[in-house]
Amino acid sequence: MGMQDRPTVSRFSVSVRKAAPKMAKINPCFRRIFVFFNVLFAIFGAVALGLGLLVHIQLDEHEDKFSAVIVLVVFGAVTFVLAVLGAYGAQKENTNVLIAFFVFMCVGTIVLLRIAIVMAISHQGLTLVIKEEFNKAVPLDEASGDIKTTMDYIQKQAKCCGLFNGHQDWGDHVPESCDCGSDETEQCHKIHSRNPYMQVLGVQSKMVYSKSCGSMMMEYIILVFDVTLGLLFGFAALALLGGVMSLAMIICITAIPRPKSISTPPIFAISPHPPKYSELIASA
């Protein structure tokens, strides 16, 4: 083949850069688990918030206030907002939202653990404190109207009388809520009434419940205390887990670089016409 028949490169095509398809930075399974549990906590927070508001409205009608209801409303609102924040940040892979969620989880873990630890330390003396508070209401016949109403309700429902000393805690005025029924003689004992009004009516004795209410009430309060303590430690553990998971997602987003665009190799076009070497020689 002669020099004139040799094909040569006559032009060079511009390289074309194609962008690679966008890839998720967080593992889809890990993200779905995180979003799922945040949705559950959002529902739980909404239910707690609605229940707290409903109870608060009912209490307003009776002009009563309970700090526990306010705590329930605040807890439900905070839980709902944080759960929505975490689910949104994970679904959109938003670093700023996940960082905010991580900070709130750390603060929540510290606060919950501090409250739970203080309650756990005071658990030893809880029984003595409760008993001292109960003894301040004795004698019950001289207590306030609210205490008498509460004790009457407890005595009727639990079939007991008094706090720790039975009917003696009522002094000379044992209420009707302590009276036994005709078919409950095994739980009762006879007392001699020292109430002058009862003696005028010719009633010298009556049957009252022998079981005291104080021990039962203390057991119930301690049970509520233990359940609350367990919930505090449980929520602290969940808040810590949520913080760790959000931190892992933040690391995934910031550590993995975006996929770079891929450039195609240069394309050379082949021309069938030979270069004009004879003209160059002639001009030389």
pLDDT > 60? residue 14: no
pLDDT > 50? residue 243: yes
Mark whether 32 and 120 lie in a shared domain: yes
Would you say residue 160 lies in a domain? yes
Structural domain boundaries, residue 198: 137-215
Would you say residue 278 lies in a domain? no
CATH at 147: 1.10.1450
Of residues 272 and 38, more confidently modeled: 38
**3-class state of residue 179 by DSSP:** strand
Q: Which residue has the tokens 């996929």?
A: 259
**Average pLDDT value for the chain:** 77
Mark whether 109 and 241 lie in a shared domain: yes
CA dihedral (167, 169, 173, 177) positive or negative: negative
Domain boundary (215, 242, 269) is at: 215
What average pLDDT score do residues 183-212 get?
A: 65
Looking at the chain, which runs of residues are DSSP E strands? 8-12, 17-18, 188-192, 205-209, 262-263, 268-271
**Among the listed ranges 65-79, 109-123, 175-189, which one has the minimum average pLDDT value?**
175-189
Of residues 198 and 131, more confidently modeled: 131
Tens of pLDDT, residue by residue over 45-73, are: 899 888 888 887 776 555 455 677 888 88
User: Could you tell me the pLDDT band of residue 202, with boundaries at 50, 70 and 90?
Assistant: very low
Whole-model pTM: value is 0.68
Mark whether 119 and 155 lie in a shared domain: no
Between CA 247 and CA 139 the distance in angstroms is 58
**Among the listed ranges 8-22, 24-38, 199-213, 261-275, which one has the minimum average pLDDT value?**
8-22
Would you say residue 180 lies in a domain? yes
Alpha-helical runs (H) found in 122-213: 126-135, 145-158, 196-200
Mark whether 115 and 148 lie in a shared domain: no
User: Could you tell me the pLDDT band of residue 13, with boundaries at 50, 70 and 90?
Assistant: very low
Mark whether 35 and 165 lie in a shared domain: no
User: Could you tell me the pLDDT band of residue 38, with boundaries at 50, 70 and 90?
Assistant: very high
Mark whether 235 and 109 lie in a shared domain: yes
pLDDT > 60? residue 103: yes
Mark whether 120 and 37 lie in a shared domain: yes
What average pLDDT score do residues 170-190 get?
A: 76
Give residue 59's pLDDT.
67
Would you say residue 54 lies in a domain? yes
pLDDT > 70? residue 198: no
Report the domain count for the chain: 2
Would you say residue 129 lies in a domain? no
Of residues 280 and 168, more confidently modeled: 168
Q: Angle at Cα 140 formed by Cα 163 and Cα 155, nearest 5°?
A: 50
What average pLDDT score do residues 10-18 get?
A: 42
Would you say residue 262 lies in a domain? no
Mark whether 210 and 236 lie in a shared domain: no
**Among the listed ranges 22-31, 141-150, 183-192, which one has the minimum average pLDDT value?**
183-192
Give residue 143's pLDDT.
79
Of residues 284 and 126, more confidently modeled: 126
**3-class state of residue 271 by DSSP:** strand
Find, among 169, 200, 166, the residue nearest to 180 by Cα. 166
Give residue 261's pLDDT.
54
pLDDT > 60? residue 107: yes
The length of the chain in residues reads 284
What average pLDDT score do residues 180-207 get?
A: 63
Mark whether 118 and 77 lie in a shared domain: yes
Give residue 11's pLDDT.
44
Give residue 84's pLDDT.
93
User: Could you tell me the pLDDT band of residue 258, with boundaries at 50, 70 and 90?
Assistant: low
Would you say residue 206 lies in a domain? yes
DSSP label of 176: G
pLDDT > 80? residue 102: yes
- Do the strands 205-209 and 188-192 form a parallel or antiparallel pair, or are they unpaired? antiparallel
Mark whether 146 and 95 lie in a shared domain: no
Give residue 46's pLDDT.
92
Would you say residue 95 lies in a domain? yes
Retrieve residue 245's tokens: 């998971």
